[in-house]
Every structure is written in C-alpha cells, then in structure tokens.
Amino acid sequence: MSSNVTVIGEVVPPSPGQRLRTIGVRLFDVGCALTGLLLTSPVFVLAWVAIWIDDGPPCFFCQQRVGWKGRPFLIWKFRTMRTGSSGPAITIAGDRRVTYVGAILRKFKLDELPQFINVLKGDMGMVGPRPEVPEFVEPGNRLWDQVLTVRPGITDLATLLYRNEEQLLASSAQPELDYHHTILPAKLALNIEYMRSRSLRRDIRLLLLTAWYSLRPGRFHGHQVETLLRG
C-alpha cells in the first residue's frame, strides 16, 4: 500500500449495543454473500468461460484497495481489460484497454460479482462506501476520515447515482483530475449522508435497486433512486 495511507485506530471502545449491531450486520452480509454466490453461480461460470475465450487467462483481476480504518486489502473482480494493459487508474467509456466481453460485464456490473468473496472474508460488506485505490485516499481529510470508519461495500448510494461515471468522464480532457477533485468528493459526501441515516430497511432497498439497475441499466434514473432512498 502507498505510504500516504495510514491505519486509523479506534478512539472509543464499542458499546454492547454497537457490538450486537456489528454482529447483526456481519451475519446479514455473510447471508447475502452466500445467497448471491449461489444465485449467480451460472453467471460466474459463463463469465469465466467468455473471458477465457475472448482474451485468455487470467479470468480474475485483483487490485489493492483501502478498506476499514485505512487497512489495505485485495479486491477481486472479473478481468475486463486486456492482459498486460497499463494506463490511468480511471476507466472511461470507450477505453481501448477494455475487451469485448469486458465491456458487456462492465455494462451490467457483472465484473463486481467476485466481491462476494471479499464479503465472506470480511474485507467488505454488502453495503458501504466503495473502496478506493491508495493514490486517491487522503488521510487527514475530513471526508476520508469519516468514510474510513466503516467497512467498504459492494454498493452504496454514490455507486448507484454515479453508475454512469465512465460516460461522465469520457468527455473530460483530464479524467483522473476531474474524478479526484470533482466526482470523488461528491461521492464521499453521499457516503457520509447515507451513513447518518442508515438502517437495515434502507440497506435492503439499496441492494434491490442495485440488482434491478444492473439488469436494466437503460432504465436508470438518478432522481428516482434519491426519492426511493430518502423517502
């Protein structure tokens, strides 16, 4: 992990109520991840075969991300870029590094399915701020300090509202800078807003909306998501 990322320690020991809630959330995450793996196992097999035929092995991609309390971990995805490709950390629409099969997987967010394994390992939860690469994390920044106090997740409010992020950045002359200085702070603010009013009911609605819009990306409307989640 980059040297500019530090582990955040606990300041106040958790109360008994907080411990029970943590256990409940963990059981919910494990149950959802196991169910997700079971339901999507045919998709796993098809994606693995399609990637192998399209661009050969490896079929999985792992990358270091910053998680809870600033701790590094490896996030797992289906590989969507050509083997050996290099370039900026940000991917934009039309990126030539993305394979034919990779573009389909990214459109329907199927490349994220291996993160059920991250949830089972305890690196991530089902709902929580999306973990970032070390170079975009800023310890000491007020927004980051708040976001890193919770376990990262497969989906969150910002993930839904910015699911067309690659299209937004496609017209940018400096996509990495625009992401770092414009989109990322907005996503962090949304993460914090959601954390303040988070509940099991809202988490379930968020998961269902994520699944729905992954299957029907053309039907996505950001204002509908905000209305459903904040209503």
Mean pLDDT, residues 16-21: 75
CB 151 within 8 A of CB 125: yes
Angle, helices 16-55/200-215, rounded to nearest 10 degrees: 10
Q: What is the pTM of this model?
A: 0.86
| Residue with the two structure tokens 């800078």 | 177
1 within a domain of the structure (yes/no): no
Q: Is the pLDDT of residue 4 over 70?
A: no
* Range of the structural domain that residue 170 is part of: 16-230
What's the total number of domains in the chain? Answer: 1
46 within a domain of the structure (yes/no): yes
Return the pLDDT at 102.
Answer: 96
User: pLDDT tens for residues 102-161?
Assistant: 999 999 999 999 999 999 999 999 999 999 999 999 988 999 999 999 999 999 999 988
7 within a domain of the structure (yes/no): no
Q: Measured between alpha carbons, how far is 126 from 228 in angstroms, rounded to an integer? A: 19
CB 101 within 8 A of CB 129: no
Return the pLDDT at 197.
Answer: 86
User: pLDDT tens for residues 145-202?
Assistant: 999 999 999 999 999 888 888 888 988 889 999 999 999 999 999 999 999 888 899 9
Residue 145, CB-side half-sphere exposure with 13 Å CA sphere: 7
Q: Is the pLDDT of residue 98 over 60?
A: yes
106 within a domain of the structure (yes/no): yes
2 within a domain of the structure (yes/no): no
208 within a domain of the structure (yes/no): yes
9 within a domain of the structure (yes/no): no
56 within a domain of the structure (yes/no): yes
Return the pLDDT at 163.
Answer: 86
The band of 1, judged by pLDDT with boundaries at 50, 70 and 90, is very low
